Amino acid sequence: MRLWIGFICSILLFSPLITLSQAIDNTVSFRNINSDTYTRIFYENDFFTGTDRDYTQGIYIERVTPSLSHFLLSKLLWHPKTDIIKYGIAIEDDGYTPNIIDKSAIQYGDRPYAGVLFIKTFLTATNTRKRERFSALISTGIIGQSAGGAVMQKAIHHWIHYTQPLGWPNQIRNDAVLNYQINFEKEIFAYNNNLSFSSYNSARLGTLSTKASAGINAVIGNFYSSFSDNKNLPRKKLQYYFYDQPSVNFVAYDATLQGGLFNHSSPYTIPEKNINRIVFMNRFGFVLIFKKLYLEYFQSVNTPEFSTTIAHRSGGIQAGFGF
């Protein structure tokens, strides 16, 4: 499997399709902001659900602005012919740990420590006539010691007076992150701007992870439709809605579990035979948008990612401003 994926990724290095996979995805329709210029900050941590294992935290800062259409990597993104296109760039830092973090020894049978840091270039394209939404994402960065996962988690645990993690010397070793992702959503049913159901499909390929996903997005509340051009509608001072996204993921490769494609010196990884190829996830949350302020709280739960672990929950908060 590694040789096959490595061959494909080597080809991608010399082609216009350069790729990313990430834990945090703000291009989905239920996280839409009705503007083409804004800044958004995201913090996700399983501490919100009373755990500290598996995907343990993610920090994400993005900027969306039309001027990024001239950015070199933006020109490498797939550009479908459509009505509305938004361009953005973000930096993301993700951390992964085993269940027991106050032991320095390798936790065999549990998730390895891993830190990931990368830059993400993306666009969203909306076809209002067909009620469709496309997203394309490119990411480049690093997994391993240089990503700073150990420093970040230790600092946060110090600030909140929580257990210090001791096993980071056993983390996944340095390797390249190079991924490409395409998302496609189509609205199936809508009632005014109060209810929306849409299909969700995603495919990603690269050195961080390779997988495909399919699911349903359900949104209920008072909001601008993510599948419409809302520029001529009366300005809403307040939007609020709940969303739910059940999905199934078909996993071919995950570097945070199996180690990087090119550096095989990691002291501990999950054997390929133990990786669960089908993982179910449900993500749900509440969004409040008041004038120029975007606030979100969410939780997610997924079935075990490999045979010797358990189901996992995490939660997050998000803030956006200046749009």
Name the band, by pLDDT with cuts 50, 70 and 90, for residue 317: confident
Assess contact for 297 and 315: CB atoms under 8 A.
yes
Shortest CA distance to 213 belongs to which of 221, 205, 222, 224? 205
- The mean pLDDT value for 127-147 works out to 95
Shortest CA distance to 12 belongs to which of 207, 208, 212? 207
Which segments of 120-265 does DSSP mark as H helices, in order?
Answer: 149-159, 255-258
Residues 282-298 pLDDT 10s: 999 999 999 889 999 98
Q: Is the pLDDT of residue 262 over 60?
A: yes
Q: Is the pLDDT of residue 56 over 50?
A: yes
The CA-based angle 168-173-174, given to 5 degrees, is 120
User: Residues of the chain with pLDDT > 70: what percent?
Assistant: 88
Instruction: Kindly list the structural domains of the chain, giving each domain's residue range(s) and its CATH number in brackets, ordered by start.
Output: 2-321 (2.40.128.140)
Assess contact for 141 and 118: CB atoms under 8 A.
yes
Distances in whole angstroms, Cα of residue 48 to Cα of each of 45, 51, 242, 293, 299: 6, 8, 18, 22, 8
Contacts of 301 (CB under 8 A, 6+ apart): 281, 282, 311, 312, 313
Contacts of 51 (CB under 8 A, 6+ apart): 312, 313, 314
Q: Is the pLDDT of residue 158 over 90?
A: no
Tokens representing 81?
Answer: 């012919």
Name the band, by pLDDT with cuts 50, 70 and 90, for residue 16: very low
- The mean pLDDT value for 263-275 works out to 97
Burial of 229-244, coded b for 16+ CB within 10 Å and e otherwise, reads ebeeeeebeebebebb
- The mean pLDDT value for 137-142 works out to 96
DSSP class of residue 157 equals: H
End-to-end Cα, the chain, rounded Å = 44
- The mean pLDDT value for 129-137 works out to 95
Q: Is the pLDDT of residue 133 over 60?
A: yes
Assess contact for 172 and 143: CB atoms under 8 A.
yes
Assess contact for 122 and 27: CB atoms under 8 A.
yes
